[in-house]
Chains A and B, each alone.
Chain A
Amino acid sequence: MNRVMSGNEAVSQAVKLSRVQVISAYPITPQTSISEKLSEICGSGEMDAKFVKVESEHSAMATLIGASSTGVRTFTATSSQGLALMQELLFWVSGARLPVVMVNVNRAMAAPWTIWCDQTDSVSQRDTGWLQFYCWSNQEILDSVICAFRIAEELLIPCMVCHDGFFISHTHEVLDIPEQNQVDAFLPPRKAEYKLDTANPRTFSGGTMPSMFMEFRYKVQAAFERAQGVIDQTYEQFEQAFGRGYHAVEAYYTDGAEILLIASGSAASTVYHTVRQMRESGRKVGLLRMRQLRPLPVEGVLKHLTDGAALAVIDRNLSPGTGGVFTQELRAALHRNGVDYRVHEFVGGLGGRDITAADIEKICDDLENKTADPAGINWVGLNR
């Protein structure tokens, strides 16, 4: 069934279709309309779930730690400051191997106050042990949230699905909404091997000595090393069931590309639009859209690297002192794979500033003319 809805409404639809049992969330712009819609459909009985309306994001995640430990399917959504307030519990959730799914609507971190989009909130949580997905369309959000539950429950690793505040969260598109029975067949109820059960009393997450702690962390790392296979398989099965597929890295116009741009989220759609136009005027430009930060899908990038193509990452986030996080991650991953390839770094769009088609053409010009800084940050749209 086709319907027009916003990115945030797509999240609520996916949560409903995934038969989540416990939801907990706290209002924050631009996430709030997800919570509002879920409150409405939980209240009306359209969805059979408990919505625990907490007093902070820290408590939202704490509530899900409790709920997920009983074996039920859980969900929350947040943004920016809210995600940061949850941080100690993000570590807790992955360490406790709880398959919580969260949507983060990307918003820059204050100070100064801003409600507008960048990805610094979620990329700065990369060490907390969550899988991270980045979407560029409302359909992709809906599909990714459904897949996230399967992936998280298979790996026992929590999953964060991100989309850009306002650019996607509040933009309406036509979506194909799957039927409930189709989703039920794809995503059966959660089967928790370990849970709080009075018939089989166990103690969870108790004090652990140096002789045992490292093995807990090793297992989390091992799960991440297995994750890409599980993710790819899940999306393949999703495609078989629903006729729509996604790859960890989506490649567009990469054949014979002399310039390869890497982007994620809504910026990638502007890049896509620009690249298509540039191709029409004969310029050999391509796009690699990164759908994941954790695990970083480096194989998907390697597949499309051709000798001599100028490679540039457009990062809508900043880790002060180094630069864009996707850039740093990719440089490290290429090096780990023994690939010596120059990655140009472009940082822009912070705090909701547009990354325009003109910006992207200029990036391509700078790469072509070799006027881009090959080592440092190339700022996009900065008023110096």
Chain B
Amino acid sequence: MSDRPDYDFCASHDFYGHSACPGCGEKILFRHVLDVLGPETVIVAPAGCAAVTDGVFPHSLSPVPYLHVAFGATASAAAGVRAGLDMSGRENVTVMAWAGDGATFDIGMGALSAIAERNENVLYVCYDNEAYMNTGMQRSSATPPGCWTTTTPASRLKSEPKKDIDAIMAAHRIPYVATASPAFLDDLKAKVERAKAIRGLRFMHLFSPCPPGWKSDPADSIAIARLAVESNVFPLYEVYEGERLRLTCQSSSVPVADYLKLQGRFKYMSEREAEDMQRAVERSYAALKLRHEKSKVCL
């Protein structure tokens, strides 16, 4: 055996299928985002569900170049890919970081903030399933209050609010921040189109249902994603330059309880906690709506 790496990696387009769980939101999102971005894309992904379910060496489902990196390294590695491609005259290629909430909200937060501050020409996408699902459902700072995980057991559910990653990213005054959902694909694809056309750091936060982690029926993934938007738990909007905010989907004021009841992860929540969540969601949405109206005036 020689010492040269003859690992020819993978003829990725020859390989179909993935090893994700039934009803996985991430794989639906991945397909549709890539549909829009097209073949002139390079993906950088850390440890997480996406990395594992892309395929085990020498297999990979990715139709575009895909660089696996260490957990906290996503944002910086993406900036490095960008720098390398730019130095090789390949400025036209989109560099997309594709990372879960653990890699984004937690271990990769410092590096993400840094590439935002430097406004690197990278599309950073977070698929958010609200916990460390790949390691088996441990809480992250994206986990909502009242939620069961293996590290927030029934005896001590998570009590802290979910980190507002979108506000944090918008506060860096990057060109584009957007939330999107697999239940609203037209909205998702339109946002990816817009993100693709913008230079600088673009941050997209995608809602990614996880049946094993959320203790939900795989057949309900899209229904849950829809209810998350309709109950304003996960409102769809975009923010330009950290200033102008636009809600992209009308709220239909579905009770939060309707969203909660399809998911076993919320079954230990008390009535009081559920009411608190309803009020918190209403407050957050009212604030977004206000900014939406003000942004219209500013136009």
A contact residues vs B (CB 8 Å cutoff) = 21-22, 24, 49-50, 52-56, 58-60, 62-72, 74, 88-89, 92, 97, 155-156, 194, 196-198, 201-209, 212, 215-216, 218-223, 225-226
* Docked CA distance A217–B64 (Å): 26
Across the interface, name the chain A residue whose C-beta is closest to B42: A196
Known contacts: A97-B5, A198-B64. The answer to whether A66 contacts B88 by CB under 8 A is: no
| Contact indicator A66/B77 (Cβ below 8 Å) | yes
A62, A74, A226, most chain B CB atoms within 10 A = A62
Question: From residue A197, how far is it (CB to closest CB) to chain B in Å?
Answer: 6
Q: A198-B93, A207-B56 are in contact. Are A63 and B83 (CB under 8 A)?
A: yes
Closest Cβ of chain A to B71, distance in Å, is: 9
Indicate if B67 sits at the interface (CB-CB under 8 A). yes
User: Pick the contact of A89 from B1, B40, B73 — CB < 8 Å?
Assistant: B73
CB neighbours of B79 from chain A (8 A)? 52, 54, 63, 66
Closest A residue, CB atoms, query B84 = A70
Residues of A within 8 A of B39 (CB): 198, 201
Interface status of B52 (Cβ within 8 A of chain A): yes
- Establish whether residues A66 and B67, one from each chain, have CB atoms under 8 Å apart when the complex forms: yes
Q: Which of B4, B40, B65 has the most CB of A within 10 A?
A: B65
A-B pairs with lowest CB-CB distance, top 3: A66-B80, A70-B84, A222-B3
Residues of A within 8 A of B83 (CB): 22, 24, 50, 52, 63, 66-67, 72
B247 lies within 8 A of chain A by Cβ = no
Q: How far is the CA of A21 from the CA of B88 in the complex (A)?
A: 9
B70's partner among A52, A92, A203 (CB-CB below 8 A) is A92
CA of A59 to CA of B117 in the docked complex: distance in angstroms?
14
A69's partner among B67, B76, B110 (CB-CB below 8 A) is: B67
Known: A67-B81, A219-B2. A206 touches B68 (CB 8 A): yes
A206-B60, A222-B3 known; A62 vs B52 contact (CB < 8 Å): no
- Chain B window 1-25, contacts with chain A (Cβ cutoff 8 Å), 1 for yes, 0 for no: 1111101111011000000000000
A207-B67 in contact (CB<8A):
no
B-side contacts of A66, CB under 8 Å? 44, 67, 69, 76-84
Q: Quick one: given A71-B88, A72-B87, A202-B9, are A62 and B77 in contact (CB under 8 Å)?
A: yes
Query: What total of chain B residues lie within 8 Å of the partner, measured CB to CB?
Result: 57
Interface digits, B43-71 against A, CB 8 Å rule (1 contact, 0 not)? 01000000110111110101111111110
Is B260 in the interface zone, CB < 8 Å from A?
A: no
Known: A50-B86, A70-B84. A196 touches B56 (CB 8 A): no
Task: Verify B84–A69 contact, CB threshold 8 A.
Answer: yes
Q: Is the CB of A70 within 8 A of B68?
A: no
Q: What residues of chain A lie closer than 8 Å to B86, measured between beta carbons?
A: 50
Q: Which residues of B contact A68 (CB under 8 A)?
A: 80, 84
A216 to chain B, nearest CB (A): 7
Q: Are A203 and B66 in contact (CB under 8 A)?
A: yes
Residues B56 and A209 in contact, CB atoms below 8 Å apart: yes
A-B contact pairs, 18 of them (CB 8 A): A50-B83, A52-B118, A56-B111, A64-B80, A66-B83, A70-B84, A198-B39, A198-B40, A201-B66, A203-B54, A203-B68, A204-B66, A206-B56, A206-B68, A208-B56, A218-B1, A222-B1, A223-B3
Which B residues touch A55, using CB under 8 A?
Answer: 110-111, 113-114, 117
Assuming the contacts A21-B87, A219-B2, asked whether A201 and B65 have C-beta atoms less than 8 A apart, the reply is yes
Interface residue B41 (Cβ < 8 Å from any Cβ of A): yes
Cβ-neighbour of A53 out of B1, B54, B118 (below 8 A):
B118
Asked if residues A59 and B111 are in contact (CB atoms below 8 Å), the reply is yes
**Would you call B84 and A67 a contact (CB within 8 A)?**
yes
CB distance from A231 to the nearest CB of B (A): 14
Interface residue from A56, A70, A156 paired with B81 (Cβ < 8 Å): A70
Shortest beta-carbon distance from B265 to chain A in Å: 26
A contact residues around B175 at 8 Å (CB)? none
B85 at the interface (CB under 8 A from A): yes
Residues on the A chain within 8 Å of B60, using CB: 202-203, 206
Separation of A116 and B57 alpha carbons in the complex (Å): 44
**In the complex, chain B residues whose CB is within 8 Å of the CB of A155:** 3
Contact B1 A65, beta carbon cutoff 8 Å: no
Q: Do residues B12 and A201 form an inter-chain contact, with CB atoms below 8 A?
A: yes
CA distance A53 to B117 in the complex (A): 11
Chain B residues whose CB sits within 8 angstroms of the CB of A97 once the complex forms: 5
Contact of B62 (CB < 8 Å), options: A60, A71, A201? A201
| Chain A: CB-nearest residue to B63 | A201
- A72 partner residues in chain B, CB cutoff 8 A: 83-84, 87-88
Cβ contact within 8 Å between B76 and A63: yes
- Contact at B69–A197, with CB atoms within 8 Å? no
Give bound CA distance, A60 to B77, whole Å.
9
The residue on B at minimum CB distance from A66 is: B80
Q: Give every chain A residue within 8 A of B41 (Cβ-Cβ).
A: 198
Contacts of A69 in B (CB 8 A): 67, 80-81, 84
One digit per residue, 1 when the CB lies within 8 angstroms of any chain A CB and 0 when it does not, for chain B 103-115 equals 0000000110110
In the complex, which residue of chain A has the Cβ closest to the Cβ of B5? A97
